[in-house]
Structure 1
Amino acid sequence: MWIAVDRYGKRFINCILGDRGTATGKQLWDSIQDIEIGKVATDYWKPYENFVPKKLHVQSKAETFTVEGYNSLFRHFLARMRRKSKCY
């Protein structure tokens, strides 16, 4: 699952289900092109470099905490994405 989140507004923008490859990420990127984007914060996963413009791209684990929170919620409530270690 690829997720786009407005970090400052803490709003979910869009998501695409698929593998972790470049094609799936590009689908998400294409789906949010009508939204004004100031910067894109990602971790160091290589496929981002193939479709996120360098002038917008910030690679830092410190900047991705909002999307990681959404990932945690999805894993908690959606059984297909649940990890064994997430259940309390």
Structure 2
Amino acid sequence: WLWLAVDSIFGKVLGFVCGRRTIKTGRVLWQQIKHLPTMGYGTDLLKDYENFIPHAKH
């Protein structure tokens, strides 16, 4: 899988990682983007996201 974090307004890639669709891979991407200011994150609602994306932002 290619995991991407994309700015929804400007379309800029903010981070990416290639790997399986697992918590471990998700955390690698999360480390790349967690410091960036955001109102929230849009996802496909994979349950594993709750292990690294704060509930209030998801």
TM-score, with structure 2 as normaliser:
0.86
Deviation at 1:55, TM superposition (A): 0.7
Q: Which runs of 5+ in 1 are unaligned?
A: 58-88
- Write 1 or 2 for the structure with the bigger share of helix: 1
Query: 3-state DSSP class of the match of 1:52?
Result: coil
Which protein is bigger by CA-based radius of gyration? 1
Percent identity between matched residues is: 35
* Root mean square deviation of aligned Cα: 1.0
Instruction: Check if 1:42 corresponds to 2:43.
Output: yes
Q: Within 2, Cα distance between the matches of 1:47 and 1:9?
A: 27
Q: Deviations over 1:34-71 (max 9, x none)?
A: 211221011121111111001100xxxxxxxxxxxxxx
Provide the aligned length of Structure 1 versus Structure 2. 57
Q: Where do 4+ consecutive residues of structure 1 move more than 4 Å?
A: none
- More RCO (CA 8 Å, sep 6+): 2
TM-score by length of 1: 0.60
Structure 2 unaligned spans of 5+: none
- The Cα shift of 1:10 comes to 1.5
